[in-house]
Chains A and B, each alone.
Chain A
Amino acid sequence: MHDITALGFLFPNEVHVHWGLMIVMYPYTTGLVAGAFIASSFYHVHGREELKPISRFALVAALAFLLFAMLPLLNHLGHPERAMNIMITPNFTSAMAGFGFIYSAYMVILLLEIWLVFRRDIVLLARSTRGLKRLFYSALTLWVYDISEEALAIDRKLTSILAAVGIPAACVLHGYVGFLFGAVKSNPWWSTPLMPVIFLLSAIVSGIAMLILMYIAIMRFRGEKADLDCLQTLVNFLWLFLIIDVVLEVLEILNLAYEKGEEWIVISQLLTKELFFSFFIGQILVCSVVPFFLLGYLVLVQPRGQGRRLRMLSGLSALLLLIQVFAMRWNVVIGGQLFSKSFRGFMDFHPEFLEKEGILASAVIFVLPFIFIYVFGKILPLWRPVDESEVPLPHRLPRSPHDVPRPPRVPESPVR
């Protein structure tokens, strides 16, 4: 029996972990995108009316995380100035080559859908503002001001189509990352056909968890009541996806443990020593088992009343699950690089606070989408469409689809 604890052999080129925090942040961010979008699609495609309150916000959250998803990758590349090579000379046998096209295509779908969902508001705001603001909103309308019932009906139809097309697109956007890891035969911790599925499911878990947490927090901040039906539906979906996700994650390890292939020499030690805290304590015990029971209680018992219990327990579970998905990304990406390809030794990974791909950089990249959401919320309403009664009378509806009057010179009334 090989005793490798005494060995510590690494191939001489295995000096450090190449794919560090940035490569943990990237799937975490795109996971949030995919998850938020799919949650929004439950309303736009499957007609789950309970989710209407967060449907707009979910799309904006998805866009916010998508816009900054490229940052960790650009920060990591040895030659970020050559990054466009993946679109100019893509090598299509590489999963990574898909990134440029998948990302661009999904960005187009998401931007279109958001534009269509917010179009009515943009037009109303374009009509009822003046000066620079008017110019800005007019540009956003793409100079189309038709918000008659038929136009809005077309908008809604297009939105459902985009949302439907967006679901497989979101699955590919995040699934390809799972495939990127899962198809690397040199690394037995990564190599499994389950990897794209596990990545996608944990993405949905993180997306829904993020929505729950932000919904509760923002409603609290605005002094409004969170819609309890909406929250309960989100909790139901979250519990369901959590169960499937954790089952697959554990199944993968059970399979490795049972088959006891050569890789089990390193992987068993990886799990019981190097990743003991981040995997068993973090990912499984605190951040999967605890939310499983909390959410299970909320789903099966369904306490209502003031909704205080629902908000607190779902908020806590959401927070733990956001940590769980981060831990999962860490355990997969970093964990897979902690053991030598010789399967005879281990190395350490300690990210620094101030280094190029360090903790501060990751924190900044994580915070930027939230700033975007805040700024977006100042421009367009995130939660409810612009109320017609708040818009001054002459600007509300066109007399005919072709006739849009210029606003008369009256003092500007506040819109929101």
Chain B
Amino acid sequence: MKEKRISRREFIQQVGAAAGSTAILFLVAEETLADLAGTPKPVVEYDWTKHHYGYAIDTRKCIGCGRCVLACKTENKVPDGYYRTWVERYHVLKNGAVEIDTPEGGAFGFKEREGDGKVIKAFFVPKLCNHCVNTPCTQVCPVGASFRTPDGVVLVDSEHCIGCGYCIQACPYGSRFLHPELKIASKCTFCYHRITKGLFTACAQACPRGARIVGDFRDENSQLYKIVSNERVRMLKPELNTEPQVYYIGLDGVVV
């Protein structure tokens, strides 16, 4: 049991050396890890800094057929019981009460409500992820798996997500869910794999009435640009300042 005396200088030198080498190790490790994670190959003809995708919904046109929900489910393999997009039905009654329902997200349409003479007005409101500019969901992701692309789409890196569920709590619109098999956060991706190739999102493609319009705000010839420039539009929960990029025409005050 020999006792070793170490001077203060020696101690500081040793700690400094240890700290320095650890720091260098971390820097090297980060580079190696980034390489291992894989840097995605850029799509040659597509420049994501030149687009800003958005969405418009004309609630006056929606008939609640639910084809959009089915199209999305098929295109994106959305698990049963969860929805990347859905349709809500509103009945405003004479006494001021509001009935809202969304049976299976509206995927198979809606059963007619029993007539009791109480309904003043009724309408459908399709919903999806708003791909907010001031996203509360990417703000709270602890690992940066949830992120916003330069072309305005909020996505989740499925290889990186740890499934903590914080983003699901933070979304004010109920757009996110935990994928029951993959155990990661999942939501509408604006069919990123389609719109970056100039196609429509599955839901907009399927809508028989053209109630759903996906487009590029930067393209002044797009229908989306014309809508937000000419119509009276409103977003959901604007007071939260999330700056949603889904604009509604004919959004009634009772819509949640």
Contact = CB atoms under 8 A, between A and B. Distances in A.
Interface of A: 1-3, 6-7, 9, 11-15, 18-19, 76-80, 82-83, 85-86, 88-91, 93-97, 99, 127, 138, 143-146, 180, 184-187, 337, 340-344, 401-404, 406
B183 A94 contact: no
Given A79-B183, A85-B162, A11 B172 contact: no
A79 B100 contact: no
B231 interface: no
B162 A82 contact: yes
29 contacts: A2-B96, A2-B97, A2-B98, A7-B97, A12-B105, A13-B175, A78-B161, A82-B161, A85-B145, A88-B30, A88-B33, A90-B142, A90-B143, A91-B138, A91-B143, A93-B140, A97-B142, A144-B3, A144-B4, A180-B166, A184-B136, A184-B140, A185-B240, A186-B170, A341-B171, A344-B100, A402-B3, A404-B2, A404-B3
A402 B6 CA distance: 12
Contacts of A86: 142-143, 162
B125 to A, nearest CB: 11
B160 A89 contact: yes
Contact of B81 (A3, A15, A95): A15
Nearest to B37: A89
Nearest to A398: B3
B150 interface: no
Interface in B99-132: 99-102, 104-105, 127
A136 to B, nearest CB: 14
A11 B1 contact: no
Contact of B86 (A12, A82, A343, A404): A12
A128 B177 CA distance: 60
B1 A341 contact: no
A187 B168 CA distance: 11
Contacts of A90: 142-144
A294 B139 CA distance: 45
Given A1-B96, A93-B139, A344-B100, A187 B169 contact: yes
Interface majority SS (helix, strand, loop, mixed), chain A: loop
A186 B98 contact: no
A12 B83 contact: yes
Nearest to B158: A79
Contact of B97 (A3, A89, A185): A3
B67 interface: no
A209 to B, nearest CB: 29
Contacts of B95: 3
Contacts of B197: none
B183 A341 contact: no
Which of the listed residues B33, B162, B171 has the most CB atoms from chain A within 10 Å of its own CB?
A: B162
Contacts of A342: 100, 174, 256
B178 interface: yes
A137 to B, nearest CB: 11
Contacts of A99: 142
B82 interface: yes
A186 B256 contact: no
Contacts of B163: 77-79
A88 B37 CA distance: 12
Nearest to A400: B3
A186 B5 contact: no
Nearest to B159: A82
B48 interface: no
A86 B98 CA distance: 43
A412 to B, nearest CB: 17
Given A15-B177, A402-B5, 7 more contacts: A7-B98, A13-B174, A79-B183, A88-B30, A91-B138, A146-B3, A180-B166
